[in-house]
Each structure stands twice: as structure tokens, then as C-alpha cells.
Amino acid sequence: MRSLFNAARTGIREIRVHKMRSVLSFMAIAVGSVVFIDSFAAIFSTYDRLQKQKEVSGIARLKITQDYNQTSADPDQYTPPPVITYDDAVSLKSKLPGLYMVSPEFQSWRNTLEFEGKRVVTTLAGVTPEWAKRDFVYTLKGRFLDWHDVENKLRVCVLVRKAVPPPTNELNKTRMKQWDYTAAFDVLVSHSDMLGKTIKLDDVTFTVIGILEELPASRAPDIILPQNRDYKVLAPVTTLAHYGFIDEENDSMDLSVDAGDENNFGESLKLVENFLKIRFGGDESFLIDNQMEMIKDAIDASIKASLVTISLGMLAFLAGGIGIMNVTLATVFARTKEIGIRRAVGASRGDIMLQFIVEAAMLGLIGGVLGSVLGYVWGVPVKEMLGLGRSPIKLWMPAVSVLIATFTAFVFAIYPAWVAASLKPADALRTE
């Protein structure tokens, strides 16, 4: 204990005397520390995001669609595949009450909307209240569709108000004009107070009962599978069928299903396949998208990306450690004479080793503390200033980083310290 204290005292003196050398060592370790904290924070924000995504999107998801790509050897024998209707959705839900969500969805891509004399192009989605159970990333004004609306085929609808898009460049703006044929709709919805008013959809009058506002991009939770998220007008699927928006003989709906429990997902999948077989005499007319697999792949990809980040942090520490080793080795050679003197007055090999290791560990410790401060400054105020969003730095991250910094310096000082301890006293004394 005493010798440790003495070694620490000598170390502090050496660190103070060799300011430049010490500062460079601190920096080498501090940079590692910054990268480490940053990557740890990145991992945690990824983890948090994934948790939120799982809550919003669910995991045990599957999607049933009609398989349009039916082929037939003889065109005369071609029979169109059976269509999925609202009744099928109701039946599936009643046969398999364990399913968390059975959401029938029908998309109509080109409709007109008239409001106070203005006509715009829009898309129209027929849904049920089930739709809102997953991927609901909006704030709602008014109310959403309910089963009363659906069962009574009421002419009510909910409009989606787009968030202000993030700033983009000129090329993107041109492209958006070219492709975004519902831009006028977005403008209309964001600049008019349409809640409670009536609108005309392809000359059928509807009442707007709710507005779904998209959250601004910075605060919106991501959904794991963001395809087909461009909803504009949502109305009861039954109403759309009743008023001829859907041709129930030919237009097939998609069924978005959340089995609820990912452990029973395989079983649920089989039950759904069975249901289709019994109801339609076979399941080859349908595609069942196993979205759970896609979701899991997406999650795995995020986790892998995090591991890459953390390995970068470890590499940075390694680089810092090698820096410390280099500095310590240089110190050993610069202080060979001193080592000789200390050995002559009775220092053992262990004393010499301890001295250099303690000194390096102190460099690591101070570097780690410095790095933690820099890591915080970089992760919170600087990142916020640069618009990167603050890192979720937890108190234990700097603590772990300081420990690892000290440990790294300790490990990398062992070899130089051993070199110092192995010097023969007479040889060490002879150097100038």
C-alpha cells in the first residue's frame, strides 16, 4: 500500500513535469473515451428506438394479399383468384379471436376531393377501427372511425395532415412536384380547418370527423416497415363498398394481421393458412407476407450497426492504449539513468514496474475523465448545435469509460514497465 502511494506520488510529479507528454497521452486516451461514450450512447438510442418501434408496430405481423400473378396454361381456363372482402376479415377475427389485430385495408389511388369549391386529387383508404391499432404515429383531432361508422356504412372520413417535410434540395423539390400528385391535397388539408365540415369524394358527400396529424420528423417514432404509409383520406371500408368505391366482386382487400404474441407466431400463421384453405378451398391464391421475419431482420441490422459502432469505440481505446505504451516506453528510455539510481538505492524490480504502471494508469485515469467531459460536451451541446440530436448519455457510461481507459492504460503499460524492470542496474547507471 505504501509503495503504491509512493509510486502514485512519483507519478503525479512526472506527469506535472512532462506537461506536453502528459497532455498528448491524455488526448490519446480521451479521444478513445469520447468515441466509446458516443458509441455507447448510439447503441442505447438505437435500443430505445427499437423498443418504441416494437410498441408502435408490433412484431408478430403478417399481411395477406391476393396473389395477382396467377398463371394458367390455357387462357380460356383462367379463373381470377378469389377476392378478400370485409366479410372475410370479420370471419377471420371471429374464428381466431386471439389475433390482436385484423385490419382489412383497401386502397383506391385516384380520387377527387372537393372542399369549398376546390377540387384536388387524393387517395382513399377503406379501413376499420382495427387500422389504428398498429403504426399509429399521429396525433388525432376529433375522433377516429368506430365500429358504429363501419356497421352502419356512415359517410364519415378522417384526413391525414402531413408534417412539414424536412428541408430538401432543389432536385428533390422538382422530383416531388413530378411524382407527388397529391401535393395539392396536402396543401389544402394543412391550410384549411376541415374538421366537422363536409367534403365530396368523387361526388359522394362525407363528413370529416377527425384529422390525423403527422408528428414532425424529429419527434415521430419510426415504424419498422414503412412501406405504403401514404394515407390521405380514411373512410369505413363498408361505406366505400356501399357507395361503389370498391367493387366487391373484383377488388380484393389486404388483411393486415398482428398475431399479438411473437412466441405463438408460427401457430397463428398456420391457423391463418388453415382459415384461408377452408374458406377459399386453398391458400395458393394468396400471399402471406411474414412481416415478423422482416421486422426481425430490420432489428438485427440495427443491432449489428450498433456493434460496429462499439467496436469502433474499442478500437479507439486500443489506439489510445498503444499511444500510452509508446509514451511509457519512451519514458523508460528517457529515465534509464533514474531507474539505475533507484535500483542502486534498493528499489526492486517490482518497485520499478509498479512505478511505471501506476504512472500510466494515472495517465489513463485522467485521460478517461477528460474524455468523459469531452464526450458529454460533444454528445449534448455540440451535437444539439449541429442538429444531430443529443446523445442519450447515461451516468454510468462515463464511469465505465473511465474504468476502461484506466484499465487499457494499465494493460498497455505492463510491457514497457517490464522492460524498465529488466534493465540491469549497472547498465542503467552507465547511460547518460
Partner 1 sequence: MSISCSELSKVYEGGKAGWPALLGVSFEIKPGEFTAVTGPSGCGKSTLLNILGLLDEPTGGRYLLNGRDILEMSDGERSDFRRDQIGFIFQSFNLLNRLPALGNVCLPMMYAGIQNAEMQHRAHALLAKVGLKGKEKKTPLELSGGERQRVAIARALANSPKIILADEPTGNLDSASSREIMDMLLQLNAEGITVIMVTHDKELAARARRNLRMKDGRLEA
Angle between helices 19-57 and 349-377 (to 10 degrees): 50
Q: Which is nearer to partner 1, 15 or 99 (CB)?
A: 15
Q: Would you state the cell numbers that stand for residue 337, as one nine-digit string?
A: 539513468
Q: Which is nearer to partner 1, 152 or 348 (CB)?
A: 348
Segment contacting partner 1 (CB under 8 A): 78-86, 256-264, 347-355, 362-370?
347-355
* 100-113: burial string, b at 16+ Cβ within 10 Å, e else: bbbbbbbebeebeb
Tell me if 346 contacts partner 1 by CB under 8 A: yes
Pick from 141, 127, 144, 158: nearest CA to 239: 127
| Integer Cα distance of 432 and 430 in angstroms | 7
Q: Which is nearer to partner 1, 175 or 424 (CB)?
A: 424
Single out the residue of 303, 310, 341, 373 in contact with partner 1 (rule: CB under 8 A).
341
| Integer Cα distance of 325 and 330 in angstroms | 8
Q: Which is nearer to partner 1, 204 or 429 (CB)?
A: 429
Tell me if 63 contacts partner 1 by CB under 8 A: no
Single out the residue of 163, 351, 407, 418 in contact with partner 1 (rule: CB under 8 A).
351
Tell me if 171 contacts partner 1 by CB under 8 A: no
Single out the residue of 153, 349, 383, 390 in contact with partner 1 (rule: CB under 8 A).
349
Pick from 237, 229, 60: nearest CA to 137: 229
Single out the residue of 32, 340, 368, 379 in contact with partner 1 (rule: CB under 8 A).
340
* Footprint on residues 399-428 left by partner 1 (CB under 8 A): 424-426
Tell me if 343 contacts partner 1 by CB under 8 A: yes
Tell me if 431 contacts partner 1 by CB under 8 A: no
Q: Which is nearer to partner 1, 63 or 343 (CB)?
A: 343
Tell me if 342 contacts partner 1 by CB under 8 A: yes
Pick from 152, 153, 158: nearest CA to 124: 158
Q: Which is nearer to partner 1, 10 or 107 (CB)?
A: 10
Query: What backbone torsions phi and psi does residue 365 show, to the nearest 5 degrees?
Result: -60, -50
Tell me if 429 contacts partner 1 by CB under 8 A: yes
Burial of 396: CB neighbours in 10 Å, binned 0-12, 13-18, 19+: exposed
Tell me if 92 contacts partner 1 by CB under 8 A: no
Tell me if 338 contacts partner 1 by CB under 8 A: yes
* Footprint on residues 5-24 left by partner 1 (CB under 8 A): 6, 13, 17
Q: How far is the CB of 4 from partner 1 (least distance, A)?
A: 12
Footprint of partner 1 (CB under 8 A): 2-3, 6, 13, 17, 337-338, 340-351, 424-426, 429
